[in-house]
Amino acid sequence: MNRGGGVINTGSRLIPLSLAWRSLADHQSAAANDIRQMIQDNRLRLMQLAGPGARFTWWGEDGNGDAFLTAWAWYADWQASQALGVTQQPEYWQHMLDSYAEQADNMPLLHRALVLAWAQEINLPCKTLLKGLDEAIARRGTKDEDFSEEDTRDINDSLILDTPESPLADAVANVLTMTLLKKAQLKSTVMPQVQQYAWDKAANSNQPLAHTVVLLNSGGDATQAAAILSGLTAEQSTIERALAMNWLAKYMATMPPVVLPAPAGAWAKHKLTGGGEDWRWVGQGVPDILSFGDELSPQNVQVRWREPAKTAQQSNIPVTVERQLYRLIPGEEEMSFTLQPVTSNEIDSDALYLDEITLTASRMQFCAMVRWKYRSRREPTLSAQHGAFQSINPNAAKQQGQLLEKAA
């Protein structure tokens, strides 16, 4: 299980896990126990990343804490607490806005709008803060670059993490703020033509976050929500995928249940833990064909076959295991590192390490990385983390360096 990651990824795991927990029909099943444990593990990870005053930086490093990261961590934990039925006093969650009040003037408009959206969802008092955000958007108005910049960004680019101060990000912030003001029964001071421009820019972009915010503002339906969700990819940022899933879940709840066509033959319907169902083969051998009748419209069918253990053939492939431990030496650029092979048994409790494990067979080579940091000499914390570092500059053997770059 992956129990590592920074604040963004840890919070982004808690959101879908909380949604999965809420969807379960049986909270006493084995699947429910697994999800509960994963939620608890990721909540514990957030606690480990918290700094003084329960404020957060990217990886729990020393610092005053970032208002946006702090709000995201608190919001994700609130979602998990709500799912598991863990109650806290309302003033407990007020801490998520402490650093926002100090840093708001220097934050991108999109980050400010997102923080206040989460605060409003938690029912924190934020009307005064909303008025301040609206006034900031009104002061911005429109700029020349809003009209001259063509939005050619890739669909997998992150508005939140990569370009939070771009014209499109500002437009999304404007639309989201309009929605928040409406819920708070407040009037906006932004010019109507500026709001309309922002709405059009967000609606015509290719960004899932922008489409989600437009849908929340216009009150769309489940079909539109499903279209946005179907466009999410693994390459997109975890926070934007988590937000889309969370904010659009209420629309998907109104979708009529899918009625599975009954296949002909010895198939038995089986209820799933999450409330769905599938058909399982209970006949002899393996069916030669799948038949659903002549009147069925085109369907996507997923077929899984698990060979019984007693008939499965043993496959022993000789594998060579190589292991190399590297110490990560920080580079000049942020989140860039150089790999220094560790040749002795001495481990620095303040350093970050990378464990490369290479499995080599005659036709296969697989490289796994484990990022770990000693918090004490007795108890290291381990996590297999893809994409943990933006840039790794290996100084070891050329082949090993290439493997590490691919795995990163």
Whichever domain contains 228, its CATH number is 1.50.10.20
Give the containing element (helix H, strand E) for 214: helix 208-218
Establish if 276 belongs to a structural domain: no
44 and 122 both lie in a single domain: yes
Cα separation, 233 vs 393, whole angstroms: 28
92 and 206 both lie in a single domain: yes
For residue 30 the two structure tokens come to 């084995």
pLDDT in tens, 178-187: 999 999 999 9
250 and 327 both lie in a single domain: no
192 and 113 both lie in a single domain: yes
**What pLDDT is recorded for position 145?**
66
**What pLDDT is recorded for position 196?**
95
User: Which of 223, 254, 285 finishes a domain?
Assistant: 254
Please give the model's pTM, rounded to 2 decimal places. 0.70
Cα separation, 15 vs 301, whole angstroms: 28
Establish if 24 belongs to a structural domain: yes
**What pLDDT is recorded for position 401?**
38
Torsion sign, CA atoms 104, 108, 111, 113 = positive
Q: Which domain holds residue 350?
A: 319-377+385-391
Looking at residue 56, the DSSP 8-state letter turns out to be: B
Residues 174 and 194 sit within 8 Å (Cβ to Cβ): yes
Under the banding of pLDDT at 50, 70 and 90, the label for residue 381 is very low
133 and 56 both lie in a single domain: yes
244 and 361 both lie in a single domain: no
pLDDT at 228 over 90: yes
Cα separation, 73 vs 67, whole angstroms: 10
Torsion sign, CA atoms 228, 230, 232, 253 = positive
Cα separation, 402 vs 135, whole angstroms: 50
Residues 160 and 209 sit within 8 Å (Cβ to Cβ): yes
User: Which of 254, 279, 297 finishes a domain?
Assistant: 254
pLDDT in tens, 233-265: 888 999 999 999 999 998 887 776 667 778 888
Q: Tokens 């407040």, residue?
A: 186
247 and 326 both lie in a single domain: no
pLDDT in tens, 344-362: 777 887 788 888 888 887 6
Residues 241 and 12 sit within 8 Å (Cβ to Cβ): yes
Establish if 2 belongs to a structural domain: no
Give the containing element (helix H, strand E) for 128: helix 127-140
Domain count, the chain: 2
Q: Which range is most confident: 61-65, 130-134, 334-338?
A: 130-134
Establish if 397 belongs to a structural domain: no
Establish if 207 belongs to a structural domain: yes
250 and 323 both lie in a single domain: no
**What pLDDT is recorded for position 180?**
98
Establish if 400 belongs to a structural domain: no
